[in-house]
Amino acid sequence: MPEYYPVYLNLAGKHCVILGGGTIAQGKLAALRDAGAKITVISPRSTDGIKRAAQRGHVTLLQREYEPGDLEGAFIAVAATNVWHVNRQIYEEAEERGVLLNVVDDPDQCTFIAPSIVRRDPITLAISTGGASPALARKMRETLSEARVLRWADLADVLAQARRVIKEQRTVIDPTRWQCVITEDLLEMARDGRNDEAVETVLSQLLNSDLPEMCPDLANCKTGGCAKRAALRAAEAVS
């Protein structure tokens, strides 16, 4: 089994071809549409969901069998025909054209595999078993969807705003210092809708070298950890 390299692709405006029109093919549509891909579905038969998507202009539907050349201009493709020799032809064309290809339930013919996704906007977690067990990936997705740790995603906008300010000022901040400012108190501010206060708190802790609980050098945290990190570790140990 190959060792996969995890990556997130920017599919905005990219041509995506789905070969097959069954429920699995339909299941691929939503995530690809959300990513902004321009989707063409090729299949002599298709689900009602795919037909509706085509009627609404969300996808282009070609009601015919796969033909060599269908991957011309494609950035990414999904083979979901349920016919091995057809999927093999698609694989060979993808290899020839350098098109990223996912062949459903056949990892040996895939150049990428689709992970199970846990999303709490704007945070996305991708889970893969490397093709060993899709059922296990789904179980982990369902478990993580309810995990308490996902509440930290609510800080994304606050930290993004603070990061923009830091970048504009061209100030060098030690990555560990960022970790120190991500606290339960900050999370509570964000979840209460006090984003402006939360951003001000982050910037104060990042840029103030006189705070006793933080390292005095903004660009280099102390070896062994500062008082702030020690307190965070103690709190984590108790919880």
- In this structure, what CATH number is given to the domain that contains residue 63? 3.40.50.720
Residues 211 and 188 in one domain: yes
**CA separation for the pair 106, 131 (Å, rounded):** 8
Place of tokens 């702030």: 228
CB 87 within 8 A of CB 103: yes
**CA separation for the pair 54, 60 (Å, rounded):** 6
Residues 103 and 127 in one domain: no
Residues 100 and 175 in one domain: no
The last residue of a domain, from among 114, 133, 167: 114
Percent of the chain at pLDDT exceeding 90: 66
Mean local confidence (pLDDT), 65-82? 96
Q: Is it the case that residue 79 has pLDDT exceeding 90?
A: yes
Q: Is it the case that residue 225 has pLDDT exceeding 90?
A: no
For position 136, which CATH number holds?
3.30.160
Q: Is it the case that residue 146 has pLDDT exceeding 90?
A: no
Residues 2 and 104 in one domain: yes
Residues 212 and 137 in one domain: no
Confidence of residue 93 (pLDDT cuts 50, 70, 90): very high
What lies within 8 Å, CB to CB, of 32 at 6+ separation is 11, 16, 18, 39
Residues 95 and 119 in one domain: no
**CA separation for the pair 66, 19 (Å, rounded):** 7
Confidence of residue 228 (pLDDT cuts 50, 70, 90): low
Residues 88 and 126 in one domain: no
Full domain range(s) for residue 180? 152-238
Model pLDDT, residue 229 = 63
Percent of the chain at pLDDT exceeding 70: 92
Residues 103 and 187 in one domain: no
Residues 119 and 209 in one domain: no
Q: Is it the case that residue 236 has pLDDT exceeding 70?
A: no
145 or 39, which is more confident? 39
Model pLDDT, residue 108 = 86
**Single-letter residue type at 203:** L
Model pLDDT, residue 107 = 84
CB 206 within 8 A of CB 178: yes
CB 183 within 8 A of CB 213: no
Residues 171 and 122 in one domain: no
Of 153, 150, 166, the residue nearest 199 (C-alpha): 166
Mean local confidence (pLDDT), 218-226? 76
Number of domains in the chain: 3
Q: Is it the case that residue 239 has pLDDT exceeding 60?
A: no
Query: Average pLDDT over the chain, rounded to whole?
Result: 90
The last residue of a domain, from among 114, 138, 166: 114
Residues 165 and 227 in one domain: yes
Q: Is it the case that residue 134 has pLDDT exceeding 90?
A: no
Mean local confidence (pLDDT), 110-123? 88
Confidence of residue 30 (pLDDT cuts 50, 70, 90): confident
Residues 180 and 125 in one domain: no
